[in-house]
Amino acid sequence: MAARAAAIALLARRDFASAELRAKLCSKGFHEGAAAEVIADLTREGLLNEERYAQNYVSYHAGRGHGPIRIAAELRKHGLPEALIDAALASGPDWGALARRARSAKFGHQSPASWAQKARQARFLQYRGFSSDHIRAATGADPDTGLTDP
């Protein structure tokens, strides 16, 4: 009963993945078996829902300008199954448009004038977790443009 109260207190603050909630409960001194039983009960009752957690996580972090690669890596760390991660990312925003917004918010609306600027912007977007396709679309880094570095 104490493990359930602790789990509900944690869930009152934010959503958790089941593996993350299990680790939190165990760190608070509850046995693995008790934590697993509470998690199974909460999942059955709908209070713990990994699909909802993944969708909320994608929505929140996409709103902060993070890309799908970074978000997927974080969700894997939280112990979510790959199928759930893929479904949540597929229902997420237009990742190409998000990469363009993140680039223009950081560097302005002007297109990069040199390959050095494009490389700098590409590194920024790569750190944010965007794919190479999203980065090329956002920076216009197409080798066929004939752009030369002054």
pLDDT digits 0-9 by tens, 27-78: 999 999 999 999 999 999 989 999 999 999 999 999 999 999 999 999 999 9
Q: Are residues 23 and 9 in the same domain?
A: yes
Residue 110 in any domain: the answer is: yes
**What's 136's domain CATH number?**
1.10.10
Confidence at 101, pLDDT banded by 50, 70, 90: very high
Q: Are residues 11 and 41 in the same domain?
A: yes
Question: DSSP secondary-structure letter at 21?
Answer: H
Distance CA 65, CA 42 (A): 32
Q: Are residues 39 and 66 in the same domain?
A: no
Q: Are residues 60 and 37 in the same domain?
A: no
Q: Are residues 138 and 117 in the same domain?
A: yes
For position 147, what pLDDT does the model report?
46
Provide the whole-model pTM.
0.83
Residue 147 in any domain: the answer is: no
Q: Are residues 34 and 72 in the same domain?
A: no
Question: DSSP secondary-structure letter at 17?
Answer: -
Domain that holds residue 100: 95-142
Q: Is the pLDDT of residue 146 over 50?
A: no
Residue 34, token pair as written in the block: 């008790």
Q: Are residues 100 and 86 in the same domain?
A: no
- Number of domain units in the chain: 3
pLDDT tens figures, 107-124: 988 888 888 999 999 999
Q: Please report where in the chains the tokens 């004939």 appear, as a residue.
A: 146
pLDDT tens figures, 7-20: 999 999 988 999 99
Q: Is the pLDDT of residue 143 over 80?
A: no
